[in-house]
Amino acid sequence: MKKITIAVDGYSAGGKSTMAKDLAKEIGYVYIDSGAMYRAVTLYCLQHGLLKNEKIDEEGLKAALANNAVRITFHANAATGCPDTFLNETNVENAIRGMEVADHASAVAALGFVRHAMVAAQQAMGREKGVVMDGRDIGTVVFPDAELKIFVTASPEVRARRRFNELTAKGIAASYEEVLTNVRKRDHVDSTREESPLRQAADALILDNSELSPAEQKEWLLARVREAVVR
Ligand code: DC
């Protein structure tokens, strides 16, 4: 069957990753979490003193990216069946999910030279098609020609509750209010930044999953994939 590119965009904590991961598994596609790449760059900054007192050492980060000192790769995790994120050959899948990285990731992702480097890497990963990539600018910037574009929405409260439950399940300490504040702050930064702000591609299909069960969502998605593959 024809392989296509599937772009999944939307606000943070909208359930995009879980949805995109499940979909990729179901149809035998490669799943790529582009947000994990911005998170890994943020972790690199925190680990190397490039992010202090809310200020990013842009020159330092630019040099690190130019010197290929920030190598981000994905490797399948046999236990979960999903790709884990690696930064310079170290598995950082858990390290990039904490609140410290989440709090700073929007600022790092707003830098034009960071986006430029990540978009080039994402386009290279998707060259062969057969990928489901999720993020903010996948349907608009990374793969404007994607055969299927989904824009996921849900209220900030619904998203914060989900992220809070996710963190709690992983044993990561956080309060619901803290998570809601973080979700709102990221919505604002992600949609008002100058470089590739979060917006819906004109040809994206909207999926509001506030009221959908995972099974209903999957059914809807598989129907859209079937349509896109025969188009
Ligand atoms: O989806 P996420 O929460 O893991 O994303 C982490 C950060 O990276 C978030 O601030 C949005 C940003 N991001 C982005 O700017 N562009 C993408 N394609 C993916 C994520």
- Which ligand 1 atom lies nearest to the CA of residue 186? 10
Dist. CA 51–CA 43, nearest whole Å: 9
Which DSSP string corresponds to 131-192? Answer: EEEEESSIIIII-TT-SEEEEEE--HHHHHHHHHHHHHHTT----HHHHHHHHHHHHHHHHH
Phi first, then psi, for residue 33 (nearest 5°) are -95, 95
What confidence tier does 46 reach under pLDDT thresholds 50, 70, 90? very high
- Which ligand 1 atom lies nearest to the CA of residue 17? 1
Domain of 82, in residue numbers: 5-230
Name residues contacting ligand 1 (CB within 6 A).
Answer: 12, 34-35, 38-39, 105-106, 109, 135-138, 186, 190
Q: Which residues contact 46 (CB under 8 A, 6 or more apart)?
A: 100, 101, 104
DSSP 84: E
Query: How many structural domains is the chain composed of?
Result: 1
Phi first, then psi, for residue 197 (nearest 5°) are -60, 155
Tokens 């790709």, located at residue? 83
What confidence tier does 172 reach under pLDDT thresholds 50, 70, 90? confident
Tell me which of 34, 97, 164 to substitute to probe ligand 1's pocket, judged by most ligand atoms within 8 Å of the beta carbon: 34
- Which ligand 1 atom lies nearest to the CA of residue 142? 18
Nearest CA to ligand 1 atom 6: 35
Tens digits of residue pLDDT in 55-98: 999 999 999 999 999 999 999 999 988 899 999 999 999 999 98
Q: In this structure, are residues 195 and 115 in contact, taking their beta carbons and an 8 Å threshold? A: yes
Q: For residue 131, what are the β-bridge partners?
A: 5, 30
Tell me which of 19, 33, 38 to substitute to probe ligand 1's pocket, judged by most ligand atoms within 8 Å of the beta carbon: 38
Q: Is 103 helix (H, G, I), strand (E, B) or coil?
A: helix
Tens digits of residue pLDDT in 112-170: 999 999 999 999 999 999 999 999 999 999 999 999 999 998 899 999 998 899 889 98
Q: How far apart are the first and last CA of the chain?
A: 12
CATH number of the domain enclosing 179: 3.40.50.300
Instruction: Please give the distance, rounded to the nearest whole angstrom, from the Cα atom of residue 108 to the centre of ligand 1.
Output: 9
What confidence tier does 211 reach under pLDDT thresholds 50, 70, 90? confident
Q: What is the pLDDT of residue 90?
A: 98
% of the chain residues with pLDDT over 70: 100
Q: How far is CA 112 from CA 52, 90, 101, 149, 184, in A?
A: 20, 26, 19, 23, 22
Q: What is the pLDDT of residue 181?
A: 94
DSSP 70: -
- Which ligand 1 atom lies nearest to the CA of residue 9? 18
